[in-house]
Structure 1
Amino acid sequence: MIDIENITKQFPGKVAVRDLTLQVNDGKIFGFLGPNGAGKSTTIKMMTGILPIDQGRITINGSDMAKQPLETKQKIGYVPDRSDVFLRLKGIEYLNYIADVYHVPTEIRKEKINDLTRSFGIQDALNDHILTYSHGMRQKIVVCGVLLHDPEVWILDEPLTGLDPKSSFTLKEMMREHAKKGKTVFFSTHVLEVVEQLCDEVAIINNGQLEFLGDMAEMKRQFKDDENLEKVFLELTQHE
């Protein structure tokens, strides 16, 4: 479970996230939506310990990110919104490095690397430097690295960006399977159709504040039944 309690993050001249409270239960795929600059990535960076929290508290499966950062980070798998990392490493070097960080045993990592890279169609590029990869391939290698230690909670920032249709389908199926196991998937996206197809619950954030929180049934109760998520999203985020 992800428990976000009254978090605030301020930068010079701007409050990026203001008094945000969310709870994401186990076994759920949770969609996090908002226009550019709404505070999505800032929230995710606080959830993953990249940015300190100015006020409030974030706990993940009972561990406090501020007080128990290493313990908490062991429980999460994080796909950032940018995949241009460790470009001078070969694909296999990067995956082994991530496996070392998370103490994945040798035999388990070999099997996981084989299965994951075949699922995303990059098994033949593992001896190439990531610098030579296309954007989509870089995204795939990052996703493979994130899933190597089988984290309980997936935190994915625009994870489908750059993926080809087959790989996008594969990742969405993995997200569904992860939730079916009683674990948690939290992801931000601009692809509203994916949210309608995939998510159990949705939060819409705008100007750092929560505009909507609930499932699709609740959304339909609050808005006209014939309105799709795009119309709701535009209505909620059109004001400044």
Structure 2
Amino acid sequence: MSIDNMQGNVGFSPNPGAAVSIRGLFKRFGGKIAVNGLSLDIPVGSFYGLVGPNGAGKTTTLNMVTGLLKPDAGLAMILGTNVWQDINAAKRVIGVMPQPDQIFDRLTGLQLLVYAGMLRGMKCAEATARAQDLLAAFDLKAAASTMVADYSAGMTKKICLASAMIHSPRILVLDEPFESVDPVSSANLKDILIEYAQTGGTVIISSHVMALVEKMCTHVAVVNNGQVCAAGTVEQVAAGEDLEDRFLQLVGGRHEAAHLSWLDGGKAGS
């Protein structure tokens, strides 16, 4: 299958049946083009990985799709709703994992989750019950009354993910969700996300870890220089190769070792 075909057979018109349908998204910051006419369809119920080198445009794309950053051109639809024509309707069906510096870390873990639920229109009692369930699922029950500012990096990542899930969204958007999370907690989080996708929810993650994407995701898009290089099922994009090798072929940038003469592992001083 050619790379053009692997771009999801994206046509000019958006696909209202897709979980996310992006057409011609464009964003410039000063003299730098961050996203350059990007188009992509993400199927409902998929576990979709968005991968690319640093500066490829992944986070900027996700910010435009989720209503956090207005595009200069193009459109994004979520479950048939044009994000920038009805931003509140689009936001109601998605859960966006905040970054650690975007949360109120002077609240306890329980307070933060209840607050996140009530912001979504939930009654306090329902938000509290769901918060307790999430704290148990994410191994944070013992830290429920601890201020989030005192959490470890991994614990903070988990409470951020829990805050995105409390209102049971139809689409979860997660930017590097497993960074700084220990292997045991990471395995538990993966199980929760896979089960969520199996019930019909759609998970979109950006990640630099190819092994994780290859193991967890059903679909993947490789983004470079603000455009989609290839998209489809993981098997289609990998094309019979290891996904990381295929990724390096698509984005380039790998070169021979620099052969630094002074980097000799101590041999010169022996």
Normalising by structure 1, we get a TM-score of 0.93
Q: Give the corresponding residue for 1:2.
A: 20
Matched, 1:204 2:222: yes
Q: Report deviation, 1:168.
A: 1.0
Q: Give the corresponding residue for 1:237.
A: 251
User: Which of 149-158 and 87-96 deviates more?
Assistant: 87-96
Render the CA deviation track for 1:93-121: whole Å, top value 9, x for unaligned: 21121111111233432321111111111
Q: Give the corresponding residue for 2:100.
A: 83
Alignment counterpart, residue 57 of structure 1, candidates 75, 86, 91: 75
Q: Report deviation, 1:123.
A: 1.2
Residue type of the alignment partner of 2:193: M
Greater RCO (CA < 8 Å, at least 6 residues apart): 1
Render the CA deviation track for 1:170-197: whole Å, top value 9, x for unaligned: 2211221122112211111111111111
Alignment counterpart, residue 101 of structure 1, candidates 107, 112, 119: 119
Q: Secondary structure at the match of 1:98?
A: helix
Give distance in 2, aligned partners of 1:216 and 1:143.
24
Q: Secondary structure at the match of 1:9?
A: strand
Query: Considering only aligned residues, what root-mean-square deviation do their CA atoms show, in Å?
Result: 1.5
Q: Give the corresponding residue for 1:114.
A: 132
Alignment counterpart, residue 194 of structure 1, candidates 189, 212, 225: 212
Which stretches in structure 2 are left out of the alignment for 5+ residues? 1-18, 255-270
Count of aligned positions: 235
Matched, 1:25 2:43: yes
Residue type of the alignment partner of 1:88: R
- Structure label with greater radius of gyration: 2
- Residues 149-228 of structure 1 mapped to structure 2, 5 A cutoff: 149-221=167-239, 225=240, 227-228=241-242
User: Which of 193-202 and 83-92 deviates more?
Assistant: 83-92
Alignment counterpart, residue 15 of structure 1, candidates 13, 18, 33: 33
Q: Report deviation, 1:23.
A: 0.6
> Identical aligned pairs, as a percentage?
36
Give distance in 1, aligned partners of 2:228 and 2:237.
14
Alignment counterpart, residue 162 of structure 2, candidates 141, 144, 147: 144
Render the CA deviation track for 1:54-89: whole Å, top value 9, x for unaligned: 111111112221111111111101114x31321222
Q: Give the corresponding residue for 2:147.
A: 129
Residue type of the alignment partner of 2:40: L
Give distance in 2, aligned partners of 1:111 and 1:127.
15
Q: Report deviation, 1:200.
A: 1.1
Residue type of the alignment partner of 1:136: G
Residue type of the alignment partner of 1:50: L
Alignment counterpart, residue 59 of structure 2, candidates 17, 37, 41: 41
Give distance in 2, aligned partners of 1:61 and 1:15.
27
Q: Secondary structure at the match of 2:100?
A: coil
- Stretches (4+) displaced over 6 A: none
Which stretches in structure 1 are left out of the alignment for 5+ residues? none
